[in-house]
Amino acid sequence: MITSTHYLVLGGLLALIGTLGVLTRRNVVVILMSIELILNAANLNLVAFARELNQIQGQVFAVFVIAIAVAEASVGLGILIALFRNKETVDAGEIDLLKW
């Protein structure tokens, strides 16, 4: 049967996929989306633990994670628009202003 462990394993899988996206993709928009995927995996684990321990705290923390994810996405996309205005690219490999 399905226990909380299954949910934790699914969270691990999603975090792994998100890490893969961050490491392999070049489009900065897709990298930001992969980061959102990692945050969602963490949220799934928090909600699973809240149910396992029969406490509300995990879900409250998940609300905070969602709020922080909104802030992160808005600032990240703002940086991306400013970057595109200056460099005309969304390729992470071509953004090397701080290199050397």
Residues 36-95 binding another protein (CB under 8 A) are 36-37, 40, 43-44, 47-48, 50-52, 54-57, 59-60, 62-64, 66-75, 77-82, 84-85, 90-91, 93
User: Residues 6-28, buried b or exposed e (16+ Cβ, 10 A)?
Assistant: ebbeebeebbeebeebbeeeeeb
What is the C-alpha radius of gyration for the chain, rounded to an integer number of angstroms?
A: 17
Torsion sign, CA atoms 65, 11, 92, 77: negative
**Contacts to another protein by CB under 8 A:** 1-10, 12-14, 16-18, 20-21, 24-27, 29-30, 32-34, 36-37, 40, 43-44, 47-48, 50-52, 54-57, 59-60, 62-64, 66-75, 77-82, 84-85, 90-91, 93
